[in-house]
Amino acid sequence: MSAVLITGASRGIGAATARLFAQEGWDVAVNYNQSERAAQELVRELTELGVRACAIRADVADPAQAAALVEQAVRELGGLDALVCNAGVALSQQLLTDTTDEQWRRVFAANVDGMFYTIRAAAPYFVRQKAGRIITLSSVWGMTGGSCEVAYSASKGAVIAMTKALAKELGPSGITANCVAPGVIATDMNAHLDEESLNALRQETPLERIGTPEDVARAILFLAGPGGQFLTGQVLQPNGGIYM
């Protein structure tokens, strides 16, 4: 049985991904930072599917906590076959000149530093076993840039660049590294958008709908499964065609 560690998995895309992996028979380590109740409830739901699951609290922006997270996931699941770096934050839309130093660092700490620390901890384990799947989460704004989204766009662009570099570095050890860059998805991160804004985004999207966490989860599972075995350094875009 395969095992996966998903960061930021207590809600939204992370939780949907945990459910889908468990439905496919994967053991799952659910990482969370603050939402303990949601994480524990999700673990109970996953274990009812007959897989091993555990909730592990860690702030991945802290290198020591990220390293301990990977170590505990390997110990509790008996191994690790895939790592999904989903944890991240966003700011409300604002001008670059209104973005404070603290806000800039908080976005990069969660979206870039946390990914770096977690992968750095997991990579030696994958190298030793000569196999592993690393899937990172970026955004359409990491590819196109978003007006009044400078910090978020920059951090998600860094995620893509880091993933491509990892694919080259880790490929000879049998490890793939790919990125999923969703479009507009119905999650808490976009809950601030009013109906008028959502309708405008629907009209911009060729498939004429807002994406769901499950749409993204299916892309992540594909990259972790047999279909992703000869894919590395790629950016898969579940975005309904809003960017091509």
> Which residues are the active-site residues?
152
Count of alpha carbons within 13 angstroms of residue 184, beta-carbon side: 22
Could you tell me the two tokens for 136?
């990172």
Could you tell me the two tokens for 129?
């076993």
d(CA 87, CA 6): 8
DSSP state of 84: E
CB atoms within 10 A of CB 182: 23
**Who contacts 218 (Cβ-Cβ below 8 Å, separation ≥6)?**
20, 238
**H helices of 78-212, where?**
101-108, 114-129, 140-144, 150-170, 195-204
d(CA 187, CA 81): 27
Q: Are 230 and 180 in contact (CB under 8 A)?
A: no
List phi, psi (to 5°) of 19.
-60, -45
**CA distances in angstroms from 220 to 81, 168, 178, listed in the order given:** 14, 20, 9
